[in-house]
Amino acid sequence: MQLFKTIAVLTMGLLSGCDAQQAEHVDKSNNSVQADRSVPLIIALQDRGEGFQEIPSMLLIKQTVSGDSVESPERATVTIEEDIPTDDSVAAMRYIYQLSKVDDTWKIDSKDISQRCVSGRGSADFSKELCR
């Protein structure tokens, strides 16, 4: 969970050009962290849940946005690729999120999950086929 908080804070700082303290709001009453929902990447990372990156591994995150203007995007795609070093059949997982902006808040429209298999255990490319 701490890694997620760190990624969220650093990402917000990088994406918005602001300092890291603006990226999260800490609710002192229950000690929880609420990330800014105005950034698609943060929404996708939150969807991955608390178990995300419990075992450190290679991670690739890509966000693209589109819309009528660069300053005010209406759609976003967030791709998260994560190596799975402890699995004997699945080498990596890829999550592709499609998001849209509604009233200055991003929401997930769809999520596509695929996997790449360890050599000899199935597809060498990302695929929906299960690894053997």
Tens of pLDDT along 112-124?
A: 999 999 999 999 9
Distance of alpha carbon 60 from alpha carbon 106, whole angstroms: 21
User: What beta strand segments (E) does 2-132 contain?
Assistant: 24-27, 32-35, 59-66, 75-83, 90-102, 105-117
CB-based contacts of 33-36 (< 8 A; 24+ apart in sequence): 33/5, 33/8, 35/8, 36/12
Residue whose token pair is 């060498």: 124
Tell me the pTM. Answer: 0.74
Domain boundaries, the chain: 2-117
81-96 pLDDT tens trace: 999 999 999 999 999 9
